[in-house]
Structure 1
Amino acid sequence: MIIDRYAEDRLQEAFGIGMAAIDGLGVGAAWGRVPAGGATEIHRHDEQEMFVIVAGTGELVVDGERHAAGPGTVARFEPFESHVLRNTGDDDLVFVTQYWRDAERALASAARTAGRSPFGQRPVFVFSTPPTPNGDLHLGHLSGPYLGADVFVRFQRMNGTRAYHLTGSDDYQSYVQSLAVKEGRPPAQVAAHYSAEIAATLAAMDIPLDQYTVTGTDTTYAAGLRDYFSRIVASGAVTAREAGALFDPGDGRYLYEVDVSGGCPGCGNGTNGNICEECGEPNTVTDLTDPVAKPSAAAPVRGTVVRYMLPLHEHRDAVTEHHLDGRVPARLRELAARLFRRDSVDIPVTHPSTWGIAPAEDAVEDQVVWVWPEMAFGFLHGIQRLGERLGEPWRASEPAEDWKIVHFFGYDNSFYHSILYPVLYRAAFPGWRPDIDYHVNEFYLLEGSKFSTSRRHAIWGKEILTEDTVDAVRYFLSRTRAESERTDFRREAFDAAVRDRLIGTWQAWTSDLGRRVADDHDGTAPDAGEWTPVHRAFLARLGARLDALGGSLGPDGFSLGEAAAELDGLVDDVVRFARSETLLNAAGLPDAARTGVALELAAARLLAHGAAPVMPRFARRLATALGQPEPEQWPSTVELVPPGTKIALAETVFFTEAPQ
């Protein structure tokens, strides 16, 4: 017999609360105490766990969904379910926890997580980084945040999630003003022109948007930003103080971002002011090595200026805590760890400029809210604008606990999204714990060098996108996307992929299958007949491809590269299968032969569903050629095409070679 009693003096700090181990039960066990107003850290693990509430009142938040908890409440968590216990009462909340490992259940839970939406009925707001309207979108842009967010949203909707794709035109970037000076026209005119071009390119790429916010023309944006910034000032997180700055020796212009360059203080590579695209670390421009003022091409003059400053180093623990809540790739955690090894990280959040939105406070003169902190508000404003159209009570000034936010961005934006913004959100909304997943991509190169809008080293979206090429472009960008390392777009490789893979393999198989159905089965899907061991094995292989596709498109393991590889693998599987199965008719085994054809059609049906998030036009046309409706739901299993269905594969052309 084992008896253990709760004793407050035994408690030790763990998971953000007090806990005391209970020994001898054969499983892990402990007492826990959550003080009034407190909460456990959010966590997820491979064990199963059970809570029994002994005293107090609170709520359980499990994968973002809330459940009341009081004395007598028993809750069991599956492996990998995120969970938090909060005390909403005035007295201590006391509970007992037991936890144990079950490898089989953990594996099954991981598989379910990969192939279904974990978001329930929560709204999921998927943001692709708002592009700078100083040029149109090129393939480097499209391959990263925009295609990634679009495929993510399409897959989640097929799984029943309320997912929305939001982005916009980041009008107040200093790069817009720089181009305006070069072109001799107002920055607002430059922003409006390229914002329209960007929206058209996204449409040509089959990337529909649920919200496209144009910050320079939105009538309520400026007032909302000022209120948001005033909240941050009132929190004390940022203060107006004098600090070092650089100025142009010719006209005395304050220098930041595009107007100054030098060596990165972190990695030593060449960089513009305020952020290094190579290592991802911010700079204050005064810490650049051998700085050059771009207006005069001379060494800048050092001086001081009063700006609102954020001592980011004081918020190390808040960033670490935030990174426990959602999907945060190791690349981002490493950046945060590297950055916080510095003794101090002081970030200016306003800058002297004539282009931007001035804060409501008068502690600084002739300054604007820096466009990057501004963007953090822009995301919330976009949610509000979307809600206004949908009749939802979403407010930028009152972010809700059930919001799930998913960000897609390039590594050069990592500091802002995953480090700066969580700190600003905590300052502006101390009662909100944002639940954010991050998906980051590396630089996509063009013939070995960086795509560049300013240098016009690019293949622009409109140069290559047509109704006939859009799916081929989406396929190739997915297949070669720079996810964990830099990759390269080469026109010769793209043309070869279209010619040899999409036309020479995918379409060659569908056309051949269509001809065999026409010749041997009067143009309709045959019913399966005799099943051989090879048939059973192939059906199982199709099931494995379905599981792998779901895993590569799910929120935790999302990878466009893996998804495109699985689609290729599916086609390769069925081509090999068909090559041997066509011999059955010649062998005088028609019942077994029609089972093979039925399985090929099942593979084609699976390909239509599996390709729908990545190549939506191809998926619709393939489904139509199979006599099936447009794929709108993610399949739970592999299904045969109903016998007798009219098949039009032989006469359907899915891909053509792109014009040079």
Structure 2
Amino acid sequence: MVEVVGPVRWRGTPYWFAGAPDGSLGLLLMSHVLAAVAWPYANGPRHIGHVSGFGVPSDVFARYMRMAGHDVLMVSGTDEHGTPIQVQADADGVTPRELADRYNRVIVEDLHGLGLSYDLFTRTTTRNHYAVVQELFEGMYRNGYIVPKTTMGAISPSTGRTLPDRYIEGTCPICGYDSARGDQCDNCGNQLDPIDLINPKSRINGEAPKFVETEHFFLDLPALAEVLRQWLDTREGWRPNVLRFSRNLLDDLQPRAITRDLEWGVPIPLDGWRDRSDKRIYVWFDAVIGYLSASIEWARRSGDPEAWRKYWNSKDGEGSVPSADGVGEDARSYYFMGKDNIVFHSVIWPALLSGYSGEGSRDGEPGELGRLNLPTEVVSSEYLTMEGRKFSSSRKVVIYVRDFLERYDADALRYFIAAAGPESNDTDFTWAEFLRRNNDELVAGWGNLVNRSVSMAAKNFGAIPPVDPAGLTEADEALLATARAGFAGVGDLIGRHRQKQAIGEAMKVVAEANRYLSEQAPWKLKDEADKPRMGTILHVALQVISDANTLLTPFLPHSAQQVHELLGGTGVHAPMPVIEQVDDLDGGPAYPVLTGDYTVGARWESVAIEAGRPLAAPKPVFRKLDPSIVDEELARLAG
């Protein structure tokens, strides 16, 4: 049997040691884990459907991996370029930058309210981001994977502006779907060009677009198809829908435009193009590069400008680098998003990384950033609907994160998303189900276990009681073993992105503890002679509460801190993000970021509670909601 000891940190990097049969200890390098979270578009506030895909799942994973001893970097930011921003800015009578500033701050505050533990949540309008985007563009251009091409572009006859592909709608020429977009048919999944659509029209004003010749740069996806296929064939453990969809996309890859006739965006970094005000890099190209630019910005702000490389540069380009003794991994990267973004993360982004690294059919050499790692896994969620309907801000079928947090607790939403969210199937959010899960599972299940156990211990002992010298019963031992076993089971499920199962297993520990208390009935042990047994029962219950609280910390960090303190704990149990106003590193305007110190807090292990630690009468951890909230919220939707 191999014994694992650690982790031990040296220069900020966690290491574990594995015992070999001869008694020696071999070094195990813990992984550098990049949690790359989809970038919310800064044209409005985000609703709970958005954060069910990119927000909560990524934070649960990142928090668990940190607690398990891994070196985690979680990055994202607001996506702020493209025609939709420009169109809305015109409608609001502001500049695109002013609109982006407004919603960048709103989104930062909302994600902070949810407790999403970003190491850096930034934006795509920083000068650092511009420089990184232009470096990748130039590197792929040198390697021959970006090529100029004359094409037919869609123009709005009334404004003279380019219509983005997704703002053109018509009938798919392949499957006949009558609501296909100009970039892709959501029904058959095929990539399209706007000119291919039958009866195309603008989604902005309904007019038929005018198609004119224009010169643009294209990503030569066919030249990267084979390297993408080889990479996808090595992927294991992905959600089946993601892998199947991604492989199907490779069957008919076409060159894809990466520049547009726009005024708002990253300039094209080539002679004859960089000073043009009417041509910009396409928003989808610059947004996915944000994962890399945010990592570089984080490193620059950390005081070690090269620190980003441990998450991005590996010998084989895939993140798997054996340590000196042949075990362990150096870097892994996990990308979190909703299913509408799969193509950008499982095909487009790996193509950009491969082209920059010189790994397609045209070969080439990596640029100054080096050979860049391909994703370890693309973690895509399905869609969350609301009361049987698709989320729609225009139709008011929506509840924004900000409005939700004004009326309900953040952990109540986090719990619903983890336990009932769209992990592998489209899921419907209903207020009745939200009420049931909050009141029956959080309040009556977990909250009640904490409240009654701490209350009895505080009332009868004033502190965590000791274990009876007579020892533990079989029932005591069984419950403690169940809780300890949860660390391996729940941790494995979170690590494999099975968060519904994971939180279900954690709540089974809660259910077992509630059953144990009901069967042992410590409140009936009123005689002085029975007090040692009462103390043992409560000690066991409080130990299991401590363990269950650790198991639930990645999911419910706000309440986990409260439970930690109710058990007499001090210090930070579940670290939280902070909002900081920072200067642009390269002289641009200042802006708010989300960041935090996550080196403190609980570790993924059972920690023995300390008998004699003072306890006070507890306050409820969760709020019981009145059933009337269902009708109130449905009335808001109807209004």
Kept after mapping to 2: 8 A contact 1:262/1:289: yes
| Structure 1 residue 652 corresponds to structure 2 residue 619 | yes
Give the direction of change, closer, same or farther, for the CA distance of 1:463–1:313 in structure 2 (3 Å limit).
Answer: same
Give, in angstroms, the shift of residue 581 of structure 1: 0.9
**Distance in 1 separating the partners of 2:372 and 2:95:** 40
Task: Select 2:605's aligned residue among 636, 649, 653.
Answer: 636
In the alignment, structure 1 residue 474 sits paired with structure 2 residue 387: no
- C-alpha displacement at 1:394, in angstroms? 2.8
1:337 alignment counterpart: 247
DSSP-derived class of the 1:191 partner: helix
Which of 387, 390, 404 is equivalent to 1:447?
387
**Is the counterpart of residue 300 in structure 1 residue 268 in structure 2?**
no
Shift of 1:486: 0.8
Letter in 1 for 2:390: K
Q: Which has the higher relative contact order, 1 or 2, with Cα contacts under 8 A spaced 6 or more apart?
A: 2
Q: How far 1:400 moved relative to its partner?
A: 1.9
One-letter identity of the residue aligned with 2:466? P
Instruction: Give yes or no for the alignment of 1:223 onto 2:136.
Output: no
Give the aligned partner of residue 419 of structure 1: 347
Report if aligned partners of 2:37, 2:75 keep a CA contact under 8 Å in 1: yes
Of 430, 439, 446, which aligns to 1:499? 439
Residues 448 and 488 of structure 1 are in contact (CA less than 8 Å); yes or no, is this contact kept in structure 2?
yes
Shift of 1:606: 0.8
2:292 aligned partner, one-letter code: L
Q: CA deviation at 1:269?
A: 6.0
Q: Structure 1 residue 317 and structure 2 residue 226: aligned?
A: yes
Q: How does 1:583-602 map to 2 (within 5 A)?
A: 585=525, 592-602=533-543
Q: Say which of 546, 549, 573 aligns to 2:512.
A: 573
For 2:165, the aligned partner's letter is: E
2:73 corresponds to:
164
Q: CA RMSD in A?
A: 3.1
Kindly indicate whether the alpha-carbon contact (under 8 Å) linking 1:531 and 1:592 is maintained by their aligned counterparts in 2. Answer: no
* Partner residue, 2:593: none
Amino acid at match of 1:510: V
How far residue 182 of structure 1 moved from its aligned partner, in angstroms, is 2.2
Does residue 110 of structure 2 align to residue 201 of structure 1? yes
Taking structure 1 as reference, are residues 278 and 581 closer, same or farther at Cα in structure 2, changes over 3 Å only? farther
1:167-182 equivalent positions in 2, closer than 5 A: 167-182=76-91
The answer to whether the 8 A contact 2:385-2:391 is kept is yes
Match for residue 547 of structure 2?
606
The answer (yes or no) to whether the contact 1:627–1:645 under 8 Å persists in 2 is yes
- Please say if residues 239 and 424 of structure 2, whose CA atoms lie closer than 8 Å, have aligned partners that are also in contact: no
* Cα distance in 1 between the residues matched to 2:443 and 2:344: 42
Report the 3-state secondary structure (helix = DSSP H, G, I; strand = E; otherwise coil) of the residue aligned with 1:614: coil
Alpha-carbon distance in structure 2 between the residues aligned to 1:232 and 1:636: 45
Opposite residue 513 of structure 2, the aligned amino acid is: V
CA distance in 2, matches of 1:515, 1:586: 15
Secondary structure at the aligned position of 2:341 is classed as: helix
CA distance in 2, matches of 1:586, 1:575: 20
CA distance in 2, matches of 1:189, 1:553: 39
Q: CA deviation at 1:494?
A: 1.4
Query: In structure 2, how many angstroms separate the alpha carbons of the residues matched to 1:505 and 1:262?
Result: 51
Match runs of 1:67-106 below 5 Å: none
TM-score (norm 1): 0.75
Greater shift after overlay, 318-327 or 283-292?
Answer: 318-327
Judge conservation of contact 1:244–1:286 (CA < 8 Å) in 2: yes
Closer, same or farther: CA 586–290 of 1 in aligned 2, 3 Å: farther
Q: Structure 1 residue 234: deviation in Å?
A: 1.4
CA distance in 2, matches of 1:397, 1:183: 41
Secondary structure at 2:154 match in 1: strand
Deviations 1:374-430 (A, max 9, x none): 123222111111001112233889952255332111111111111011111111122
Equivalent residue for 1:389? 301
Given the alignment of the two structures, is residue 512 of structure 1 paired with residue 452 of structure 2, yes or no? yes
Residue identity (%): 22
C-alpha separation in 2, matches of 1:535 and 1:527: 11
> Which residue of the partner structure matches residue 58 of structure 2?
149
Aligned residues of 2:246 and 2:342 also touching (Cα < 8 A): no
Q: How many angstroms apart in 2 are the aligned matches of 1:656 and 1:279?
A: 45
> 2:147, 2:220 within 8 Å by CA — same for their partners in 1?
no
Cα distance in 1 between the residues matched to 2:395 and 2:139: 39
Rounded to whole Å, the distance in 2 between the matches of 1:525 and 1:452 is 54
Aligned to 1:626: 567
CA distance 1:295–1:482, shift in 2 (3 Å)? closer
The AA in structure 2 aligned to 1:623 is: H
Counterpart code for 2:525: N
For the residue of structure 2 that corresponds to 1:449, the secondary structure is: coil
Tell me if structure 1 keeps the 8 A contact 2:454–2:567: no
Matching residue of 1:541: 482
Instruction: State the one-letter code of the partner of 1:384.
Output: I
Structure 2 CA distance for aligned equivalents of residues 266 and 642 of structure 1? 67
Letter in 2 for 1:190: L
Give 1:253 shift. 3.9
CA deviations over 1:39-82 (Å, ceiling 9, x no partner): xxxxxxxxxxxxxxxxxxxxxxxxx99xxxxxxxxxx9x9xxxx
C-alpha distance in 1, partners of 2:532/2:204? 79
Q: Secondary structure at the match of 2:194?
A: coil
Partner residue, 1:19: none
- Report if the CA contact (8 A) 2:145-2:223 is conserved: no
**AA in 2 matched with 1:653:** P
Using a 3 Å threshold, how does the CA distance of structure 1 residues 121 and 538 change in structure 2: closer, same or farther? closer
Q: What residue number does 1:263 align with?
A: 171
- Give the Cα–Cα distance (whole angstroms) in 2 for the partners of residues 291 and 578 of structure 1: 66
Cα pair distance change 1:197/1:372, threshold 3 Å: same
Q: CA deviation at 1:263?
A: 3.4
Rg (Cα) greater in structure: 1
Amino acid at match of 1:464: F
Q: What is the CA-CA distance between 1:145 and the residue it aligns to? A: 0.9
2:540 partner letter: L
Q: In structure 2, how many angstroms separate the alpha carbons of the residues matched to 1:245 and 1:261?
A: 15
Q: Which amino acid aligns with 2:163?
A: L
Deviation at 1:158, TM superposition (A): 1.1
| AA at the equivalent of 2:240 | A
What are structure 2's unaligned runs of at least 5 residues? 1-12, 21-26, 315-329, 359-365, 574-600, 633-639
Q: Give the Å deviation of 1:161.
A: 1.8
> Residue 188 of structure 1: CA displacement?
1.3
1:122–1:551 CA distance, 2 compared to 1 (3 A) = closer
SS across alignment from 1:220: helix
Q: Mark the CA change 1:633 to 1:281 in structure 2 (over 3 Å): closer, same or farther.
A: farther
Report the TM-score, using the length of structure 2 for normalisation: 0.78
Judge conservation of contact 2:129–2:294 (CA < 8 Å) in 1: no
Q: Tell me, in whole angstroms, the C-alpha distance in 2 between the residues paired with 1:202 and 1:623.
A: 23
Q: Deviations over 1:608-656 (max 9, x none)?
A: 211221111211111111123444233434x5522222233x4222111
Moved more, 566-575 or 519-528: 519-528
1:50-129 to 2 correspondences below 5 Å:
120-129=29-38
User: How many residue pairs end up in the alignment?
Assistant: 542
Describe the shift of the 1:184–1:468 C-alpha distance in structure 2 as closer, same or farther (beyond 3 A). closer
Structure 1 residues 295 and 579 mapped into 2: Cα distance closer, same or farther (>3 Å)?
Answer: closer
Hey, what does 1:246 align to over in structure 2? 154
**1:359 Cα shift?**
0.7
Query: Shift of the alpha carbon at 1:196?
Result: 0.7
CA spacing shift, 1:242–1:327, aligned 2, 3 Å:
farther
Judging changes above 3 Å, is the alpha-carbon distance between structure 1 residues 514 and 636 closer, same or farther for their aligned structure 2 residues? closer
The residue number in structure 1 matching 2:144 is 236
Residue of structure 1 in register with 2:472 after alignment: 531
Give the 3 Å change call, closer, same or farther, for CA 269–604 of structure 1 in structure 2: farther
What letter is aligned with 2:545? A
